Structure 1
Amino acid sequence: MNPLIQMTADEVNHLIYAYLRDSGFEHTAFTLRTEGQLDRSHLFNRHIPRGELVELLSKSLLYVEVETHWRGDTMVTECKAPFSLLRRHECSSEGIGAETNGYSDEYEQSRSNGIDNVQKRKAEPLVLEEPRVEKRAKRSAEPEASDDYFSLPSVSKKKDSKSDSSVDMDRASQPAVNTPSAEIVKKAKTKKAPGPGDDTTPLDAILSLTGHAAEVFVCAWNPKAPELLATGSKDATVRIWNMPNPPDNLSEFSRSPLNPPVILKHLPNSDQRDITSLDWNPDGTLLATGSYDSILRVWTAPGEHYMSHPQHQGPIFATRFSKSGRWLLSASLDGTACVWDVSEKKLYMQFRCHAECCLDVDWLDDSTFASCGADRLIHIMQLGNPSPIKTFDGHTNEVNQIKFNPSRTRLASCSDDQTARIWNITNLFRKPEPDSIPGLGTTTKPDSVITLKGHSDSIGSIGWCPAPSNSGHEIMATTSFDGTARLWDATTGECLRAISDHKRAAYTLTFSPEGKFLATGSGDGWLYIYNVATKERVWSWYAGHDKPGIYEIDWQQKGGINRIAMCLESRAVGVVDVTRVPALMAYM
């Protein structure tokens, strides 16, 4: 007779693989997939719901609580100590403030000595190399289960005959240590409908473009043809939507595209299908796409294939056209950045600049660019020179994103080390003064860096405000997996506002083109828009309960057109007509 409960190492590997990809750790997931040979498993193409690993672990905690508190034919109801996945529970009626905090000191001591941990791992049939601590923490502020997290299937339990109180079975199902009140549980079970967060914005002000067969990760408005919107998805396709212009009559609303989108099929040879990056060239005639299948592709605006090349040996994480459009940059998991001659349709030079994966690139000018990587370094490279002309170090973990400011005098970076940094590059090309003494340096002012501290988890996105503040200082924004966004004075490093409206990891941000607003998107399904001058939230929109994540935002403002595109976990693309949102038009 087969056991009723079965668990295989293959299933565990796939759950961890799905968790890593949901959390954005693509290169770690790629390593697990390769070493574990997951693509040979019959489970590889099976859909795993987002947050499945966390939800299963939460349900296991629920069972552990029942098992621990069941005493004969009664349940212990006075215990207020929390449960943890990695610590042994000890009952306590004094709650979280108790000296033991519900955990065994002896057990913790043995763990700190490595004895218990090592012995258990030796006995386990499946041994996986654990991700680094900071990687595991990247989602610690964001439970991946849905809002039904508090309404797991109930477990049969008896009440004390002398009391009408019973143990709260939902308590262990949440990752936090506090038991949710009945009011919180009730709210969690109530699903909010998708739509604006206010009562004045008509529902028709937001369009939902459907057609993608999986989560939508990237989007970009065409810089010259405002009707064209490109979107890329996990389904291995890019779609170019032809959006009608908003009607002149304010009583009417934007219409859906009259024709279906042009579909650019990438047809990967493997199951690594995600579209990871999109970038239009400056005149809007070409679209570069990066994919997890390692192939760089370029398309014309009408959707015809222009060029493709398999030079990279790993997923492509970024594509960037130079300002002139002559060059195209690509960054890859293989640790290299490639510069492509667009008109010649060929590789110009491959820069082997990082010991680990190259995560992002940005152009300084038409012959100079910056790259960052998992090796914690930022390099400034010049065409024709295989070695960096400048290297910035200081980050203590992976550097996720880099962006030059509009005046190209400073470079911003953000990292898994929970900091963002602003690097002064005004002296980048300054030559030493002729009277300087070799070995003693020069009178040139050394490069300076401003470190922005305040986030409590990895920072995944940064952005420069197109307009300076009233003081004349530049403003920068960051979003983090700690669920917060922050506005910074880029000159002094002062945090101007810490925004904590999101309840899950904040994935993306963008400023409106004129610099009046900051928009942020999160795994909680909310788009929040803030007035940069007042630092106050002025509008919001909710993506819905089912698959709520907002992965990327692109804001278009050209002539009388003012629109926001959103990439949604629900497989749709949201388009907000800002001219139909009274709360935003009040500031125009």
Structure 2
Amino acid sequence: MAKMVPPIKITADDVNCLIHAYFEDSGFQHSAFVLRAEGQLSNSPNFTQHVPRGELVELLSKALLYAEVEAHWKGTGMTANCRSPFSLLERHVCSLDPNVAGPSVPDQASHAMEIDQQAPQPHANGAVGMNGTADSVAKRKASTPTTEEAPREKRARTAPPDESMQVDGVAPSTTEPKQDHKQTASSASSEHAESKKSSKTKRQPGPADDVTPSNVVSLLKGHKTEVFVCAWNPTKKNTLASGSRDTVVHLWNVPDSKPPASPVPPKIGPPMTLSYPSQSEQGDLTSLDWTQDGSLLAIGSYDAILRVCSTSGELYFSHTQHEGPIFATRFSKSGRWLLTASLDGTVCVWDIHEKKLHKQFQCHKDCCLDVDWLTDDIFASCGADGKIQIMSLAHARPPKTFIGHTTEVNQIKCSPSRSRIASCSDDRTARIWNIEDIVYNRPPNNDVVVLRGHSHTVSSIAWSPVITEGDHEILASSSFDGTSRLWDSVTGECLRVFQDHKRHVYALAFSPDARFFATGGADGWLHVYDVKARQKRWSWYAGSEKPGIFEIDWQQSGNINRMALALESNEVGVVDVTRVPLLQ
């Protein structure tokens, strides 16, 4: 007697654990906490099991493959030449490609049998995250495929119909070959199969052009988990700090290339390792910030512990004042003060010389996501409550509060002129606020410039270091809609939209001379754009396995011109820009 195969069993607890892992990967920390509490997942035997990153969407992708087979098993003219996309929210109905000749449309009864189950619809957009590239909240999304939220009429322009099927992480070309009107149904079916086969071919890592040396990017191996943050030392130019998911910080000695650029990149030795075992389940590093003199490095982490260490690797001091993950660390220009922003809604001001807490501000009702200094004793903070608070070390209450965003504010950045601050939010806008009355004691100007155009979370913003557009400062923004934009910060005009990424854009950075700005995303691509010409100049691909680029730090000094990349592949990338012909 044949042995009975036990039936497939899926419990609510299984599904809850998968959704919880998806929430954490997507940066939905509040949602993950609520689900963990209400579902009592801490008591579940499944909770301690490792759920691979992106597992939920990978299972949905496999279900899509099954659904396609189920819908197209008959092999009729209708199914063989079907060009109707799949969608999670709509039933699949086969439809013929009007350019392909074949049998006539079957009758209503036959047609009804070719309706598919729900399946993912590809798109460059993704789940709304809680923070931007500099914060770990948004960085745990690297291999999480994206979901659809854009209007249906825009889908074909943003992503090809098979993008959700690219389980190797490679986005296919958005341009499809033209079909011959005389092509038979048989040849069309064969060509469709070949197209699917070729679309799964993995692209090799390296530059997108044929003139850049393949070794222009040095990959530094040392971390055992994803690298979330990286930062060049501002004075010791060859020192690069990188931080990973397991609270490990590496200090690398990266020699600069001797001019003229050598065809062989300089050899980089093993790093100095600063390991701080975390008592928390999550020890993801969220922020690295050097003092202006390069003597101290502040480290923010999910374990809520502030750590400050020296360039020699010694721990200068640490503290457990915060009751939640630390999302941002910022030294004041003088190096006397250090700001830390936390999930507990507070901002702590630390006296670096005294190695102690100076004052703790309850800035937000919920999570505080980012901070930036306006002067050496005035700072701004933003949070999940949608507010931007201007705080003074001399007062307990904020001298000014900016209200306008309708949901979480992910980042704030003070302009080089120190006259305005920019903010970006999950409400799909960036905004420019005037602070001249606070910084320069001028008459108040409450006019707000609202930058509209992104169709999803605006995750990152960056000011151009140099004024290049007349007398107006330029701002760059990047979004989970897969685009980045350049803006005139005075008029609010969008100067250019760049649509090269196929998934979330995580990283955004200007070159210090303001000639270029670079973006990195979940699709594994680094794109570099010419600010004046407003054109893409150069691209590099990180690979299809764990492709995410989480942070970019661009360094220029004398003959040095290079970028550091924090990579999901557990590596740190160093791009020698002097050896990239297209960027000279």
Over 3 Å counting, the alpha-carbon distance change for 1:236 and 1:192 in structure 2 is same
Deviation of 1:492 (Å) = 0.9
> Where do 1:343-354 residues align within 5 Å?
343-354=353-364
1:7 aligns with 2:2: no
Deviation string for 1:273-309 (max 9, x for gaps)?
2111111111111111111111111111111111111
Identity of aligned residues (%): 57
Q: What is the alpha-carbon distance in structure 1 between the residues aligned to residue 170 and residue 220 of structure 2?
A: 32
* Aligned-partner SS, 1:388: coil
Question: How high is the TM-score relative to the length of structure 2?
Answer: 0.81
- In the TM superposition, what is the alpha-carbon distance from 1:43 to its structure 2 partner? 4.3
Aligned match of 1:368: 378
SS of alignment partner, residue 405 of structure 2: coil
Matched, 1:446 2:454: no
1:281: which partner in 2? Answer: 291
Contact 1:563–1:577 (Cα < 8 Å) also in 2: yes
Match of 2:246 in 1: 235
Map of 1:536 onto structure 2: 535
Maintained 8 Å contact 1:147/1:188 = no
Which residue identity is paired with 1:197?
Answer: A
1:403-445 Cα shifts (integer Å, max 9, x gaps):
000111000000001100011111236779xxxxxxxxxxx45
- Contact 1:138 1:481 (C-alpha < 8 Å) held by counterparts: no
Q: Residue 572 of structure 2 aligns with which residue?
A: 573
Contact 1:150 1:185 in 2 (8 A): no
Distance 2:189 2:290 in 1: 54
Residue of structure 2 in register with 1:385 after alignment: 395
Question: Match for residue 334 of structure 1?
Answer: 344
Note if contact 1:23-1:138 (Cα within 8 Å) is conserved in structure 2: no
> Counterpart of 1:191?
202
Query: Structure 1: which 5+ runs fail to align?
Result: 96-103, 105-130, 152-162, 170-179, 433-443
Specify whether residues 133 and 52 from structure 1 end up closer, same or farther in structure 2 by C-alpha distance, changes over 3 A only.
same
Candidates 238, 258, 268, aligned match of 1:257: 268
Q: 1:474 corresponds to which residue? A: 473
C-alpha distance in structure 2 between counterparts of 1:37 and 1:556, whole Å: 47
Q: Distance in 2 between matches of 1:499 and 1:183?
A: 31
CA drift of 1:365 comes to 0.7
* Pair 1:69–1:184, CA change in 2 (3 A): closer
Q: Answer yes or no: is the 8 Å Cα contact 2:467–2:473 preserved in 1.
A: yes
2:53 to 43, 50, 53: 50
1:517 and 1:532 in contact (8 A); partners too: yes
Q: In the alignment, is the contact (CA less than 8 A) between 1:405 and 1:464 conserved in 2?
A: yes
The answer (yes or no) to whether the contact 2:128–2:480 under 8 Å persists in 1 is: no
Any gaps of 5 or more consecutive residues in structure 2? 99-111, 113-125, 131-143, 150-158, 172-183
Change (3 A) 1:216 1:33: farther
Aligned partners of 1:73 and 1:533: how far apart in 2? 54
The RMSD of aligned alpha carbons is: 3.2
CA gap of 1:430–1:536, structure 2 versus 1, over 3 A, is closer
CA-CA distance at 1:197 after TM superposition = 1.3
Alpha-carbon shift at residue 567 of structure 1 (Å): 0.7
Partner SS state of residue 396, structure 2: strand
Secondary structure in 2 matching 1:204: coil
Aligned with residue 247 of structure 1, among 233, 250, 258: 258
Give the counterpart letter for 2:278 in structure 1: P
- Counterpart code for 1:426: E
- Offset, 1:25: 2.9
Matches within 5 A, 1:411-490: 411-428=421-438, 444=443, 446-490=445-489
Q: How far does the alpha carbon of each residue in 1:448-495 deviate from its partner, in whole angstroms, 9 at most, with x for none?
A: 110001110001000000111242211100000000000111111111
Cα deviation 1:525-563 (Å, max 9, x = unaligned):
110101111011111111011111101000011122111
Quick one: structure 1 residues 407 and 76, their matched pair in 2 at CA, closer, same or farther if it must change by over 3 Å? closer
Report the counterpart of residue 526 of structure 1 in structure 2.
Answer: 525
Contact 1:147 1:545 in 2 (8 A): no
Q: Which residue of 2 aligns with 1:507?
A: 506
Aligned partners of 2:440 and 2:294: how far apart in 1?
35
Deviation, 1:253, is 3.0
For 2:74 and 2:29, how far apart are their aligned partners in 1?
45
3-state SS, counterpart of residue 279 of structure 1: strand
Given that 1:481 and 1:504 are in contact with CA atoms closer than 8 Å, whether structure 2 keeps it comes out as yes
Q: What is the CA–CA distance in structure 2 between the aligned matches of 1:301 and 1:459, rounded to whole Å?
A: 34
Structure 1 counterpart of 2:489, one-letter code: A
Give the whole-Å Cα distance in 1 for the aligned partners of 2:398 and 2:22: 35
Distance 1:323 1:13 in 2: 46
Q: CA deviation at 1:86?
A: 3.8
| Residue-by-residue CA offset, 1:66-91 (whole Å, 9 max, x unaligned) | 44566899996676654433445566
Amino acid corresponding to residue 331 of structure 2 in structure 1: F
The equivalent of 1:303 in structure 2 is: 313
Q: CA deviation at 1:363?
A: 0.5
Q: Distance in 1 between matches of 2:169 and 2:524?
A: 16
Q: What is the rounded CA distance, in whole Å, between the counterparts of 1:475 and 1:308 in structure 2? A: 38
The 1-side partners of 2:436 and 2:393 are apart by 19
Cα distance in 2 for residues equivalent to 1:49 and 1:137: 13
Distance 1:349 1:547 in 2: 41
- Identify which of 21, 26, 30 aligns with 1:23: 26
Provide the C-alpha distance between the structure 2 equivalents of 1:415 and 1:145, rounded to a whole number of angstroms: 30
Change (3 A) 1:68 1:200: closer
Call closer, same or farther: CA 1:454–1:280 in 2, change over 3 Å.
Answer: same
Deviation at 1:256, TM superposition (A): 3.0
TM-score by length of 1: 0.81
Q: Which shows bigger deviation, 38-47 or 561-570?
A: 38-47
Distance in 2, matches of 1:451 and 1:208, equals 39
- Work out whether residues 413 and 462 of structure 1, in 8 Å CA contact, stay in contact via their aligned partners in 2: yes
Structure 1 residue 262: Cα displacement: 1.6
TM superposition shift of 1:395? 0.7
For residues 378 and 407 of structure 1, the distance between their equivalents in structure 2, rounded to whole angstroms, comes to 19
Any idea what SS the aligned residue of 1:472 has? coil
The amino acid that maps onto 2:490 is T
Partner of 1:85: 88
> Aligned equivalents of 2:304 and 2:165: distance in 1?
31
Using the alignment, how far apart are the partners of 1:502 and 1:425 within structure 2? Answer: 34
User: Is the alpha carbon distance of 1:72 and 1:447 closer, same or farther for their aligned partners in structure 2, counting shifts above 3 Å?
Assistant: closer
Matches of 2:450 and 2:313, distance apart in 1: 43
Greater Cα shift, 266-275 or 451-460: 266-275
1:395 matched residue in structure 2: 405
Contact kept? 2:28, 2:129, Cα under 8 Å:
no
Q: Distance in 1 between matches of 2:562 and 2:333?
A: 24
Once residues 231 and 431 of structure 1 are traced to their aligned partners in structure 2, the CA distance between those partners, rounded to angstroms, is: 39
User: For 1:110-129, what per-residue CA distance to the aligned partner results, in whole angstroms no more than 9, with x for missing partners?
Assistant: xxxxxxxxxxxxxxxxxxxx
Distance in 1 (alpha carbons) for counterparts of 2:199 and 2:268? 36
Counterparts of 2:59 and 2:300, CA distance in 1: 33
Alpha-carbon spacing, 1:43–1:559, altered in 2? closer, same or farther (3 Å)? farther
Give the 5 Å matches for 1:175-190: 182=193, 184-190=195-201
